[in-house]
Amino acid sequence: MTEPGLVLRVAALGDGLTADGRHVALAAPGDVLLPDGTLRHGPNHVEPPCIHFPQCGGCQLQHLSDAAYTEFVAARVAGALMGQGVVPGLLAEPHISPPEARRRATLKAVRGGKGITIGFAQSGSHQIVDMHMCVLLHPALFGLVAPLRKLLAVQGVMGKAATIVMTLADQGVDLMLEGVTAEGLAATERLIDFAGTQRLARLILDEGEGSTMTLWEPEPVTVTFGGLPVALPPGAFLQATADGEAALVAEVVAAVGDAPTVADLFAGVGTFALSLARGRKVYAAEASRDALAALKSGGDRLPGRVFVEHRDLFRRPLVPAELNRFGAVVIDPPRAGAREQVIHLAAATVPVIAYVSCNPSSFSRDAATLIEAGYVLDRVRPVGQFRWSSHVELVGTFRRPS
């Protein structure tokens, strides 16, 4: 008989779930919730590697062993699929990004009585946890926290709060600051000196309402996809880790196979389009003009291979007559999915669809639509780029039987 307080699994939002249906914060599978409310730790409960856990909101699951966390990532995807009655041919072993691999992050800075506090917000709170170590961030990003604390402590640089957006590009860290001013020559020189001393790839001030000012960029900032450098627009989306990106790309490349023509929908700056473009033709659709211009800058290095179109796929999805021209389609929509585009895909005869998703729930909903129309979900690969968090990504490969 199962002990009522035994924690059987970790639920979607990160709480442990006991045999009698209770949710328990910071519990691992195998822990036991005792009658007095305390938790007896089991073999999957480990010592968190960071001194800021669990107060810092950057992580929710550092108390899980590596095996338990990997199982959680797989179960998040399996549970979402089951909820829609979807059974994949294969649920592949999850890819889990290692510690200190995050190459982009958004931190908050606040001014208080003891100086500047920089870090992530506490879970469920606006309170900022002052970051003095981080097992998530790439060392190049975390290495800027202490110097930024000193810079922002200078009167006149920031008011009560600022937002710090850091991205690791080919040339180094691309840093964007919101709530920081450069009024006057002295303030501007102070910021430029900081950029040079820290060897930043670029320093941008976000002035609000879509307006930015670049103070420092010794050479054009790029990211590389498929061996092709692409201009990185300020604030552009980039996969959270380089190894996670590689895992997603590898799944997409394997799914597409030798298809001579591919459509990449919601193409962004070209993560998949440029990785697929050698030896085949790729059509890329994207609504952001900045992202599309960046993608084109990389695609132009492969003349006649990459064709880009500015297209809002929510308002004007590709219809079956357009989709049927391609041997494969790659789709990487926002978290909410792309219901209208998926309806048209379901009505098309495209042989292969590689669906990249950052939301197992919306993916499973769309998967059910495609399967009902005759597609087979051949394979799903979960990807845990956001280590120790409940955020899970995946790639699903759909095939239409001939």
Q: Could you read off the pLDDT of 219-270 as tens digits, one per residue?
A: 999 999 999 999 999 988 899 999 999 999 999 999 999 999 999 999 999 9
Residue 145: count of CB within 10 angstroms of its CB: 20
- Whether 358 sits among the annotated catalytic residues: the reply is yes
Give 112's pLDDT tier (boundaries 50, 70, 90).
Answer: confident
- CA dist., res. 141 & res. 105, Å (int): 8
Orientation of helix 360-372 relative to helix 66-83, angle to 10° = 40
The helix or strand, by DSSP H or E, that contains position 228, with its residue range, turns out to be strand 228-231
Q: Are 398 and 370 in contact (CB under 8 A)?
A: yes
Q: Are 88 and 396 in contact (CB under 8 A)?
A: yes
Give 332's pLDDT tier (boundaries 50, 70, 90).
Answer: very high
Give pLDDT, residue 113. 79
- CA dist., res. 223 & res. 170, Å (int): 5
Q: Are 161 and 109 in contact (CB under 8 A)?
A: yes
How much is the average pLDDT of 150-160? 87
Give pLDDT, residue 182. 80
Cis bond before residue 54 (omega within 30° of 0): yes
Tokens of 27: 């519990």
Query: How would you classify the pairing of strands 222-225 and 211-216?
Result: unpaired
pLDDT exceeds cutoff 70 at 201: yes
Give 212's pLDDT tier (boundaries 50, 70, 90).
Answer: confident
* pTM to 2 decimal places: 0.94
**Range with lowest mean pLDDT among 11-20, 243-252, 365-374:** 11-20
- CA dist., res. 147 & res. 179, Å (int): 17
- CA dist., res. 95 & res. 87, Å (int): 20
- Count Cα atoms within 13 angstroms, Cβ side, for 397: 19
Give 158's pLDDT tier (boundaries 50, 70, 90).
Answer: confident
Q: Where are the strands (E) in 92-201, listed by range?
A: 95-96, 104-112, 115-119, 158-169, 172-180
Higher pLDDT, residue 50 or 208: 50
Q: Are 371 and 365 in contact (CB under 8 A)?
A: no
Tokens of 16: 């442990």
Give pLDDT, residue 157. 83
Q: Are 377 and 350 in contact (CB under 8 A)?
A: no
How much is the average pLDDT of 104-129? 90
The predicted-structure confidence for 97-108, as pLDDT tens digits, reads as follows 999 999 999 999
Computed over every residue of the chain, the mean pLDDT equals 94
pLDDT exceeds cutoff 90 at 123: no
The helix or strand, by DSSP H or E, that contains position 269, with its residue range, turns out to be none
- Tell me what percent of the chain is helix, strand and coil, each rounded to the nearest 5: 25, 30, 45
Give pLDDT, residue 197. 97
Query: 298 by DSSP, 3-state: which?
Result: helix
List the one residue out of 385, 361, 391 whose CA is nearest residue 14: 391
Give 1's pLDDT tier (boundaries 50, 70, 90).
Answer: low
- CA dist., res. 110 & res. 130, Å (int): 10
Q: Are 342 and 363 in contact (CB under 8 A)?
A: no
Query: How would you classify the pairing of strands 95-96 and 376-384?
Result: parallel
Residue 15: count of CB within 10 angstroms of its CB: 17
How much is the average pLDDT of 102-127? 90
What are the C-alpha distances in Å from 38 to residues 32, 281, 295, 334, 352? Answer: 8, 60, 54, 40, 51
List the one residue out of 225, 215, 239, 193 whose CA is nearest residue 95: 239
pLDDT exceeds cutoff 70 at 356: yes
Question: Largest Cα–Cα distance in the chain?
Answer: 74
